[in-house]
Amino acid sequence: MSDWIKENKFAAGLLAVAIAAIIGTYFFSGSKSDAYDKAQADYDQKSGNYASLIRTEPFPNGTNQEAYRKSVVAYRGQVEGLQQSLLAFRPKEFKKIRPADFTTRIVEVGTKLKGAYDAAGIKYPAKWQLGFETYTSSPPKDGATDFLNYELDALSWLYDTLAKSGPSELLNVYRTRLPVEDGQAMGGQPQGNNNRRNRGKAGPSKPYYRLPVELTFRGGESSLRKFLSELTSSKGYFFIVRSIRVQNAKAEISPKKSDADFKPVVAPGGGEADPFEGSEFVIPGEDAEPEGEEDPADDAADEEPIVPGAPKVGSGEKILGQVLGAEELNVFLQLELILFRDNVKLPAVK
């Protein structure tokens, strides 16, 4: 072979060039084939995405995008209107006062409310200090007096409204401590979710602060209805009823059989009278008595005279009183006083 290459150098060189060209062509065509397959896959994917967009309603073109933007602007305007209406519940002045002045206010407001409760005959706990019992002996932190002073005004209105509703007793009050009372920030931003992308990021802060309080009182059904009506229609304070539990004050005493000891009606000639006698109730299969055959004078003679001012109360009416709500109720309310923030800005619409 080597001799042939020596004798035919030109042909050997030409053959080597041809082999190199064939090898180069093979590798070149292989790489181009891979590129073609990749391009074909990209085309199929983009073609599928385009077909999916075509089927989307509304189709994402310039006209629909502008219509969507206008709807977002309109929605933002509605949110702004709602925000302004809710800010009407925010006090005109929200400022800090001296801790000693806040303690003095507790005593003054408490004395006034207790006088009103005493005048109305409403009982209340002996150690009741409007839910601020901690600060009657020691003042709060200086940085918490703005929130506490607002909460004192709101709870003063709440207790006064309850007194006007006519309960018989204020059983208990529990005011949840605010974070600012322990030196922490109010309404801190919540942590992000467990998503890896959002982990460690704080979520958006809420446009309001929550000031929880629990209230337990005893009174009639009318006092409960009146109190809830005044609570939910207040123009000065925004209260939310988170939960309510109502229980009969004498739930452990169930009606007895003797309470329903109705005496049987005795017929004039002796024996038990027909319970349906004198009624218009007709048993199927029996004919009603023809009209006009009864003498009205007979009915008048059979009726017992009614003495005004001296109603005869049967023992069975005791059950009706229990069923119809004549007894008092124990009412537990879990409330939240909402203080709206005034520095919340909505994102701009581009």
Do residues 178 and 144 touch, judged by C-beta distance below 8 A?
yes
At 98, phi and psi to the nearest 5? Answer: -70, 140
Residue 199 has pLDDT above 70, yes or no: no
Residue 326 has pLDDT above 80, yes or no: no
At 333, phi and psi to the nearest 5? Answer: -125, 130
How far apart CA 193 and CA 191 sit, in angstroms, is 7
Do residues 11 and 19 touch, judged by C-beta distance below 8 A?
no
What local confidence, expressed as pLDDT, does residue 78 receive?
Answer: 87
The rounded Cα 231 to chain-centroid distance in angstroms is 15
For residues 16-29, give the mean pLDDT. 63
What local confidence, expressed as pLDDT, does residue 164 receive?
Answer: 95
For residues 148-153, give the mean pLDDT. 94
C-alpha Rg value of the chain to the nearest Å: 43
Do residues 214 and 177 touch, judged by C-beta distance below 8 A?
no
SS3 172: strand
Burial of 234 (0-12, 13-18, 19+ CB in 10 A): middle
Tokens representing residue 170 in the block? 């204020």
Q: Is the pTM of this model over 0.75?
A: no
Report CA-CA distances (Å) from 275 to 13, 261, 336: 132, 16, 55
Q: pLDDT per residue over 278-308, tens digit each?
A: 545 454 555 545 554 555 555 544 444 444 4
pLDDT confidence bin for 142, thresholds 50/70/90: confident
Do residues 276 and 221 touch, judged by C-beta distance below 8 A?
no
Amino acid at 325: G
Q: pLDDT per residue over 210-260, tens digit each?
A: 999 999 999 998 999 999 999 989 999 999 999 999 988 776 666 666 655
Tokens representing residue 236 in the block? 């000065």
Mean pLDDT over all residues of the chain?
A: 76
Axis-axis angle for helices 145-164, 99-120 (nearest 10):
0
DSSP 288: P
What local confidence, expressed as pLDDT, does residue 41 receive?
Answer: 80
Q: Residue with structure tokens 């003797």?
A: 258
